[in-house]
Amino acid sequence: MQAYDFLVLGSGSAGLSFALEAAKFGSVCIVTKKNSAESNTNYAQGGIASVLDAADSFEKHVHDTLVAGAGMCDPEVVAEVVRRGPETIRKLIALGAEFTQKEGGLHLVREGGHSHHRIIHADDMTGREIERVLLENADSHPGITILEHHFAMELITEHHMGQKVTRYTENNQCYGAYVLNLQTSKVERILSKTTLLATGGAGQVYQHTTNPPIATGDGVAMAYRAKARVSNMEFIQFHPTSLYHPDANSFLISEAVRGHGAKLRNKAGEAFMAQYDKREELAPRDIVARAIDDQLKKRGDDFVYLDIRSAGKEDLQKNFPNIYKECLRHGMDMSQDLIPIVPAAHYMCGGVWTDIHGQTTIKGLFAAGEVACTGLHGANRLASNSLLEALVVADNAVLKAKEFAKNQEINAAVPEWDDSGTVNTEEWVLISHNHRELQQIMWDYVGIVRSNLRLERAFRRTRLLHEEVESFYQRTKVSEPLCQLRNMISVAYLIIRSAMNRKESRGLHYTTDYPHLNDKVEHHTIL
């Protein structure tokens, strides 16, 4: 029997940070479906927002976050996360993180929506540096077990012991997870006193995304099936600038490039952002993404250009070495060429409903990082707040999880996984076809601009996909592609239903049928 005090599902910044702290109080197991370094954190280019300049202040950072969140942030959560910024940076540096320096101190840059230079970064691959230092510390820790190539399938609750569970069952508790060993194809039962969801986002639900292939919404889907409450799933952030090239796989061109002076131009060479917002290229991402989308639709173009030719080659190579190399790999020199870009699904502002301590509505189940909806981001995430939130909430979650674990015993009554009556099948074309169809539906109908008609059409088509895949799942031995598709369909449903419930345009949710903001703050969408 595999049993631990703390089970962590996911190996991004939230999961690794939680594991390092939790290991001080008990045994920890980290489950990750690929290798341990593959996560959304590893793909984060921009940085971490924190108040470190004497001319800046917590109040300014809070204000910028609340403005971007379009009236739906939790002010107390915002204040707590912002206040914890400096100590979080100091903690990472103490662990060995190496951030870009300038004139003997940390180099602070500015990104869209921020009123001050407060973004700490490691060149243009900050996420990779954070992942590196956290993973090195976790990998060498004797109290932490890391299970790579293990796919978390289902959260274990009273449901698996024959009890009826609803979203209003007060004693619904998590006892661990059923996990598919991808190397043996066997489902393992991993029991725990507490469980942390740190599974990241769901960008793969869309045809174009900056997220890695692992971002299939597994945590949100598992939590929803386990009867946890999920919040604000209509707010999907589309990054305005991903590289438009058939071989680039929606490579992200960091927000910091626009902060460095880049201009957006249409194919006629016209700088167009002044038509949409007085902040121009430094407007929040939702405004920039909609402006690009409007240009594409009006002009019938496939992409617009990002123009950073005003900066010299040496400057670009120093500040954006990885972006410069990637563009060069595709035949573009940023110092001389216009860079073709399109928006792409980037970040999920909603997620499993939690408080500032990561507590979900299921006992013993915590969530941190992109999978969680704490109230920090509201209707739109301010750039570079996400890594900070993941680390702060993960640390807070440890404090609550260790207290909960003190009074718990491992529940050995949990049954083993039962796959009797299922068979192996060769018809995996059904999965690949439905996968592509789901992504196309979400991109066409539930993207940057929505309408009642588009949402209703998406709902009908994804319902058919759900019925097909569930039928296939019930009679087939589980596999990673099948489970991921099942999770993606669940997340798509949550996004569509949440979008249909919001009768206004707010933050990242824009609909042509309700193009205006309600005078009062609209309710949070709880499913």
Distance (Å, whole) CA 484 – CA 489: 9
3-state helix, strand, coil in the chain (%, to 5): 40, 20, 45
The number of residues making up the chain comes to 527
Half-sphere exposure of 30 (CA within 13 A, CB side): 32
How far is residue 180 CA from its own chain's centroid?
23
Distance (Å, whole) CA 308 – CA 316: 9
Phi, psi of 44, deg, nearest 5: -75, 120
Distance (Å, whole) CA 319 – CA 17: 27
**Cβ neighbour number for residue 93 with a 10 Å cutoff:** 14
* Burial status of residue 295 (CB atoms within 10 A of its CB: 0-12, 13-18, 19 or more): buried
Residues paired with 195 in a beta bridge: 7, 365
Is the distance from CB of 107 to CB of 100 less than 8 angstroms? yes
Rounded to 5 degrees, what angle do the CA atoms 159, 161, 162 make?
70
Q: Which of 118, 128, 189, 285 is catalytic?
A: 285
Distance (Å, whole) CA 436 – CA 61: 40
Distance (Å, whole) CA 124 – CA 475: 46
Annotation marks residue 497 as catalytic: no
Catalytic residues: 285
